[in-house]
Amino acid sequence: MSEVIGYILITIGVLFDLFGCIGLVRFPDIYNRLQASTKCVTLGTILLLAGVAAASGQGAIIAKALVCAVFILITSPTGAHAIARGAYASGVPLWEGSVVDRYGADGHGASPAPEKHPCES
């Protein structure tokens, strides 16, 4: 029984991963693509882990799946945040259909010439 539940969870997880990748291809700019990849891939991978844990039913594997799930939940949004911020700072523009950009309006983003490269000095 738990094996059946496990395989159902794995199937749903793989589907979410697939939809995330479709979004990654279809969305117009890096910020929208990050939305698709972080959300869907996070949930998809966690469902995969839950499915593996349920299908195996072994304490050792459940513990591993749990640790990995927590790790993904913490690192995936942090990584997306770092990529988005890095992209904006290096001047990647928003899609032309974007309706508002409060971040740029407040003077963030690519400055014409950085004062000094961090590797120098």
Partner 1 sequence: MRRVIYFVLALVIWILLTWPFVEGHLDGQVFLAGIVAAAVVAVLFQDVLPPEHHVFRSPKRIVWFVLYVPVFFYYVLVANLDVVYRALHPKMPIRPGIVKIKTSLTSESAITALANSITLTPGTLTVDLTDDGTLYVHWINVRSDDVDEATRMIARRFEYFLERIFEEP
Give the residues lining the site for partner 1 (CB under 8 A).
16, 19-20, 22-23, 26-29, 31-32, 34-36, 38-40, 42-43, 58, 60, 63-64, 66-67, 73-74, 76-78, 80-81, 84-85, 88, 94-95, 97-104, 106, 108
Both structure tokens of 103:
């971040």
Nearest distance from residue 89's CB to partner 1, in Å? 9
Quote the CA–CA distance of 49 and 13 in Å, as a whole number: 9
Give least dist CB 1 to partner 1, A: 23
CB of 6 to partner 1, least distance (A): 18
**Cβ atoms 32, 95 nearer than 8 A:** yes
Q: Closer to partner 1 at the Cβ: 2 or 78?
A: 78
CB 78 within 8 A of CB 40: no
How far apart CA 40 and CA 77 sit, in angstroms, is 12
